[in-house]
Amino acid sequence: MLRALTQMPADMSSDSRRQLLNAVTDLFLLDNEPTELAKEHYGKIALHALPRLEDDHRRDYAEQVAEMETLPREVATSLAGDPDSEVARLVLKLSPVLTDADLAAIAVSQSQRHLAAIAERSRLSESVTDILVERGDRIVLETVSGNEGADLSDHGFERLIERSVGDAGIGLALSTRSNLTPGRADRVMRIVEELSGENGLWSKPNDEAVTLARQARQHRLEVKLLLVDLAANKRTLDDVVTMLAEEDRAYHLAQVFAQIGEISIEQALRILMQRDVSGIAVLSRALNLGAAAFEAILTLRAQRLLFARKSAEDDLKSYMQLDLATAERTLRFLKMKLKLA
């Protein structure tokens, strides 16, 4: 059926194409694991229809498929590079299909609104962040500065510092990051304090900027103490995870999982924030995390990744049915794969 539908009549109206594409998309979504042939045929239909749809119809379609893990990559890149930034926005922010190369190509060629959407992604590699830092306007720079999932290379960090001159918002956003190294954190703190002085861009020496920067520093110290307490069995993992998740401290949560699960912080953060819940479910179950703590994680993920409440409820039910021994075996296998990679 999908193959037959790839041959669309050339004289179809925009509205007819929209209805057909929606119907085919509904059909495609019924299959959780479509074959490569089905994806190819569906991709041809979508790519043939999209250029002939009105802007608002393309926006509606993009909202429907932005989070699809099975969306053909060619369709995702077409939507992400759409001249209408409202069509591209959710796909750029949420699509798990787009690669670093796709994001980089869009970041070097599209509008600032496209870049702002990319800057909101839950995970960004250093190579993509470097482009955003180089090309982005104030909104992009402030967004990427405050995005803990955006990895900053040494060059990217230095460029952000350079571009923060005269723009208090960038320094403030940087200062609130939980994952700054001590050296970077001290530099940012000095900048914020200078901007907040009598002759700075903020009028009060103890205003919001300094308060937030000091709070971020306090959080970094706090998580170190929490890790010490966990190692000494003075706190339970459930209590620590629940507290950090409820405070929306994803990076610090990744630090905890990294230490307890014996993986890197980068790996833990990727598992925590990837759209597929299976990774964090396996890790949490293997660490014998309770239902309440895992529910707090799901709430954090729902807020960050814009999941529906029903999805979190289903994920919690599946988690409770996950066998501990199976989770432990899966985690050992994943660790082995990570070491060999």
**Which two structure tokens, joined as six digits, stand for 305?**
């990744």
Q: Over the stretch 110-160, which tens digit does the pLDDT of each residue have?
A: 999 999 999 999 889 999 999 999 999 999 999 999 898 899 999 999 999
Measure the CA angle with vertex 248, ends 273 and 226; round to 5°. 100
Whether residue 187 lies inside any domain: the answer is: no
Residue at a domain's end among 98, 122, 137: 98
Q: For residue 53, give both structure tokens.
A: 């749809």
User: Quick check: is 167 in a domain?
Assistant: no
Q: What is the mean pLDDT of residues 36-64?
A: 91
Q: Which of 98, 113, 148 is the last residue of a domain?
A: 98
The pTM score is 0.66
The answer to whether residue 131 is domain-embedded is no
Alpha-carbon gap, residue 300 to 242, rounded angstroms: 10
Residue 30 included in any domain: yes
Q: Alpha-carbon distance 205 to 220, whole Å?
A: 23
Q: What share of residues in the chain are helix, strand, coil (percent, to 5)?
A: 70, 0, 30
Q: Is residue 9 included in any domain, yes or no? A: yes
Examine residue 225 and state whether it is found in any structural domain, yes or no.
no
Residues 144 and 169: their CA atoms lie apart, in Å, by 11
Supply the pLDDT for residue 122.
85
Query: What domain range includes position 53?
Result: 1-98
For residue 106, pLDDT beyond 70: yes
State yes or no: pLDDT of 16 exceeds 70.
yes
Contact predicate 180/220, CB 8 Å? yes
Q: Which residue, of 56, 79, 98, is where some domain finishes?
A: 98
* Position 109 in a domain: no
What is the mean predicted confidence (pLDDT) over 1-19? 58
57 lies in some domain: yes
Domain count, the chain: 2
